[in-house]
């Protein structure tokens, strides 16, 4: 299974649309918030199933603020991250991941891509496709899960992004 992971598109899905059109072997998309309507627009545009959670800019959202998903026995906790203060530390989100019994925590909010293993849990943030804050350009993530439960996460940089302004 191959999953596209995006976050913090903030009303601009041109780069996400470009990725989905160029890389056609995704089985699923996960959008980690900011903006919920971007996830809904992608859901209408492509036949790939999409899971999403709202972010701190999705003020009137009725969608669940977090979800636990499982693929081939690998449990994922998806959330935007702002309820867990991920801009300041990762202790709170790790504690929640431990309570939920997950192997992977996917979150956004910081607009900075990162992958880190803490206490046997993989933390992964794909960064932002439209408003990156790391000076390295737009980014997204790819999660590949094999049927035996082995998984691999990769941060990908967009080679040529679409100017959103």
Report pLDDT for 162.
52
Question: Using one digit for the tens of pLDDT, what is the confidence trace for 64-102?
Answer: 999 999 999 999 999 999 999 999 999 999 999 999 999
Question: Using one digit for the tens of pLDDT, what is the confidence trace for 35-73?
Answer: 989 999 998 888 899 999 999 999 889 999 999 999 999
Label each residue of the chain as H, E or C. CEEEEECCCCCCCHHHHHHHHHCCCCCEEEECCCCHHHHHHHHHHCCCCEEECCCCCCCCCCCCCEEEEEECCEEEEEECCHHHCCCCCCHHHHHHHHHHCCCEEECCCCCCCEEEEECCEEEEECCCCCCCCCCCCCEEEEEEECCCCCEEEEEEECCCCCCCC
CATH fold for the domain made of 2-157: Purple Acid Phosphatase; chain A, domain 2 (3.60.21)
């Amino acid at each position: 299974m191959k999953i596209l992971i995006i976050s913090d598109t903030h009303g601009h899905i041109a780069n996400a649309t470009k990725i989905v059109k160029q890389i056609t072997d995704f089985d699923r998309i996960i959008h980690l918030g900011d903006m919920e309507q971007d996830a809904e627009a992608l859901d209408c545009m492509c036949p790939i199933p999409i899971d999403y959670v709202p972010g701190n800019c999705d003020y009137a959202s009725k969608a669940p603020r977090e979800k636990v998903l499982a693929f081939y026995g690998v449990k994922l906790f998806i959330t935007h991250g702002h309820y867990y203060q991920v801009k300041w530390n990762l202790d709170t989100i790790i504690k929640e991941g431990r309570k939920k019994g997950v192997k992977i925590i996917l979150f956004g909010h910081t607009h900075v891509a990162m992958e880190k293993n803490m206490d046997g849990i993989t933390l992964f943030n794909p960064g932002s496709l439209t408003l990156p804050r790391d000076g390295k350009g737009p980014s997204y993530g790819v999660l590949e899960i094999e049927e035996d439960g082995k998984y691999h996460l990769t941060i990908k940089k967009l080679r040529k992004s679409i100017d959103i302004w």
